[in-house]
Amino acid sequence: MGRTRNVALMAFGVCLGFWSGAALAQDDGRDAWLLAPCSSCHGTFADGVKEDGGSEFPDGPSLRRTRLDPEEILMTVRCGRPGTPMPSFDPGAYTEFACHDLPLGPRPETLFGFPPMDDRTILEVVDFLVANFVGKGRVTRDECTRLLGRADLCGEYR
């Protein structure tokens, strides 16, 4: 299932990459995920940040349990969610392509605050998210070790 979704997203990504003239990276998206700001709000393993211990970032829901399909996830990342802390990451959102059925126009103000990402990075991040986290159950020590490359940071997982 995960793989099917991933393939669908890659197909979509190839179209998008073609359209934008950007080459799709073939390397795994691990670095892209770890460098992207998503984890500040959604957690390193996309398992959601609960009642944070004083973080300056708003709490984001678990993306492991999202019911969105890969295309909807991609559009959520590109367009953000007006009226919520979920930022918009595509610099052309609202101004160059329509989001949430709104006519083209200025981007809703709540969506600023995070640096935009280029198409390739957005695709890498979303592809990694879909392939590794969406639909997965609890975080395991194995998964943690693979992602962080260090077992000693993963003691809280089993």
Nearest Cα to Cα of residue 90 among 123, 121, 117, 129: 117
Using the rule CB under 6 A, is 12 a contact of ligand HEC? no
User: x/- binding map, residues 85-124, to ligand HEC, per CB under 6 A?
Assistant: xxx-x------------------------x----------
Among 42, 64, 78, 107, binds ligand HEC (CB under 6 A): 42
- In the bound complex, which residue of the shown chain has the CB atom lying closest to ligand HEC? 38
Using the rule CB under 6 A, is 74 a contact of ligand HEC? no
d(CA 34, CA 147): 9
d(CA 123, CA 105): 24
Minimum distance from residue 96 beta carbon to ligand HEC (Å): 19
Tokens 């990276």 belong to residue:
25
d(CA 153, CA 151): 5
Among 13, 29, 43, 60, binds ligand HEC (CB under 6 A): 60
Half-sphere exposure at residue 76, Cβ-oriented, CA atoms within 13 angstroms: 17
Using the rule CB under 6 A, is 130 a contact of ligand HEC? no
Residues making contact with ligand HEC (CB under 6 A): 36-38, 40-42, 57-58, 60-61, 63, 66, 68, 73, 76-77, 81, 84-87, 89, 114, 125, 129
